[in-house]
């Protein structure tokens, strides 16, 4: 009787174990789950980086537009007064509270163009079109080009007359 009892327990143990096929399917499912989690985290970080770069480009363009807003009409039309090209860098640091920024970041290059307006009205000679264009490269190898542009109109009797008295 003991021999038959041992065979029954051993047979039960064999039935409770996983087969090689079941283990391989479980490993495959786990690999798919982990790879999808990793890819979604990687995609989220790259979207966050792209948003950060776009925001910085918008900040630089707004800074240039705010500067143009303060020029008087003579300065705005003087090509030697206005700097038409610029370079700005976004420093990425993890050190909060430092007074100097260190680190490598994205280099933004831009241009400010002032042109006569293409209006067909009588006041078109008293207005200028100001366009700020900025470009940068990003991506894993820094090979993906990006450009953004912002345009506004400035009039001879506009906001700058509140700051400067001609």
Which domain does 151 fall in, by range?
2-163
- Phi and psi at residue 76, to the nearest 5°: -65, -35
- Residue pair 130/153 in contact (Cβ under 8 Å)? The answer is yes
pLDDT of 126 higher than 80: yes
**What tens digit of pLDDT does each residue of 19-43 get?**
899 999 999 999 999 999 999 999 9
Q: How many domains does the chain have?
A: 1
The structure's pTM equals: 0.69
Q: Helix, strand or coil for residue 109?
A: strand
- Alpha-helical segments (H) within 94-163: 160-163
- Report the alpha-carbon distance of residue 35 to residue 122 in Å, rounded: 64
Helix (H) or strand (E) holding 42: helix 20-69
**What tens digit of pLDDT does each residue of 38-86 get?**
999 999 998 998 898 999 999 999 999 988 888 888 888 888 888 889 9
């Amino acid at each position: 009787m003991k021999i038959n009892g041992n065979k029954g327990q051993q047979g039960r143990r064999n039935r409770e174990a996983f087969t090689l096929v079941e283990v391989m399917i479980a490993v495959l499912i786990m690999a798919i789950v982990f790879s999808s989690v990793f890819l979604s985290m990687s995609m989220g970080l790259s979207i966050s980086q792209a948003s950060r770069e776009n925001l910085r480009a918008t900040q630089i363009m707004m800074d240039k537009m705010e500067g143009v807003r303060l020029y008087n009409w003579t300065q705005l039309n003087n090509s030697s007064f206005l700097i038409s090209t610029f370079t700005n860098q976004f420093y990425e640091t993890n050190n909060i509270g430092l007074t100097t920024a260190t680190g490598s970041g994205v280099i933004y290059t831009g241009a400010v163009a002032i042109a006569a307006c293409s209006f067909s009205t009588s006041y078109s000679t008293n207005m200028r079109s100001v366009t700020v264009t900025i470009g940068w490269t990003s991506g894993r190898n820094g090979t993906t080009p990006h450009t953004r542009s912002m345009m506004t109109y400035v009039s001879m009797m506009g906001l700058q007359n509140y700051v400067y008295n001609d």
